[in-house]
Copies of this chain bind each other. A is one copy, B any other.
Amino acid sequence: MKLQQLRYLAAIVENDLNITAAAERLHTSQPGVSKQLKQLEDELGFPIFLRQGRTLTRVTPAGKRVIDRAQKILKEVQSIKRLADEQKGDGRGSLAIGTTHTQARYVLPQVIRRFRERYPDVELHLHQGTSEQIADMAARDRIDFAINTGSQELFTNLVLLPCYRWHRRIVVPQGHPLASEGKVTIEMLGKYPIVTYVFGFSGPSSLQQIFARHGITPQVALTARDADVIKTYVRLGMGVGIVASMAMDPREDSDLVSIDASHLFPAHSTWAGFHQGALLRSYMYDFLQLLAPHLTRRLVDRAGNAATPSDVEALFTDVELPVYR
């Protein structure tokens, strides 16, 4: 019997006996969870779950008792970890983050909610700004982590950990002609006024260049610094919006239609950076992993100890980053 098996068991129960969902929550593969459950049941010698064919349907009476004890065990394990945090003074402390609107508004809220559950006494400081402002905060040592998209060249003194990649989505009001098209093209976009971020004015991924490659000049109706402003003006019918995919909330934005545009614009990479050689407190490692599950303590330490930026990159060549599309 291993703790891992008990964790998997608890996750399966948490996810209503759906092994696939449990595996996702655990950031591992579904066959792995399936196998560990089977091993546990084999070791115990009786089934924890009833099955209909291959689907788990119910918990057996004996299984219920195992689950209760497993949860008790996991709680004790947690309690040991808490204890360790207190001991190290890790329950207290502070975490200062510099980041952009998109991350602060759409990605970090969930991360921070889970972080606060785990570390209610860590002081959190969130500083929003442009890439340049964030770089400045980092240079002045005002922040522990910089979280930004692109602009790596501004942060040469930081260790940059790739977190996830994301695409843009096209946003239109319900009933807009584009909403009923299959795959949107640059040509189709060119027919409507555009409401979007301040795309770079030069460089191969600037809005101008991308349209120019199709021989089209975009009609930019409005450029904003953040997606909320963009969505607001799309709602007012000022034009077709182009926003980060994370900025679309299925519930809040149910009055809008958003369309995959991953084939039109290149993907963006969001990364988290910290000063090389900085001593990370354990809650900082945990924060990073909440932000991007592949950022294990191991990996972060290796990156922090890497000699050159290209050594850091090498660590991530085999890692598949999450993609928001």
Instruction: State how many copies of this chain the complex holds.
Output: 2
Bound-complex Cα distance A77 to B40 (A): 12
Q: Which residue of B lies closest to A88 (CB)?
A: B45
Bound-complex Cα distance A76 to B70 (A): 8
* Known A-B contacts A2-B3, A3-B3; A80 and B87 likewise in contact (beta carbons under 8 Å): no
Interface residues of A in 69-113 (CB under 8 A from B): 69-70, 72-73, 76-77, 79-81, 83-84, 87-88, 90
Nearest CB of chain B from residue A75's CB, rounded to whole Å: 10
Bound-complex Cα distance A118 to B17 (A): 33
Is chain A's interface secondary structure helix, strand, loop, or mixed overall? helix
Q: Are A69 and B80 in contact (CB under 8 A)?
A: yes
Chain A window 39-66, contacts with chain B (Cβ cutoff 8 Å), 1 for yes, 0 for no: 0000111100000000000000010011
A308 interface residue, CB < 8 Å from B? no
* Known A-B contacts A73-B76, A80-B70; A2 and B2 likewise in contact (beta carbons under 8 Å): yes
Q: Which residue of B lies closest to A71 (CB)?
A: B76
Q: Are A45 and B87 in contact (CB under 8 A)?
A: yes
**Seed contacts A2-B3, A3-B3, A46-B88; 13 additional CB < 8 Å A-B pairs:** A1-B81, A2-B2, A44-B80, A44-B81, A44-B87, A45-B87, A45-B88, A62-B83, A62-B87, A65-B83, A66-B80, A69-B77, A69-B79
Q: CB-CB < 8 A to A81: which residues of B?
A: 1, 44
12 A-B residue pairs with CB within 8 Å: A1-B77, A2-B2, A3-B3, A43-B84, A45-B84, A45-B88, A45-B90, A46-B88, A62-B84, A66-B83, A69-B77, A69-B83
Q: CB-CB < 8 A to A66: which residues of B?
A: 80, 83-84
Q: CB-CB < 8 A to A1: which residues of B?
A: 3, 77, 80-81
Closest CB pairs A-B (n = 6): A44-B84, A45-B88, A46-B87, A62-B87, A73-B76, A69-B76
Q: Are A46 and B84 in contact (CB under 8 A)?
A: yes
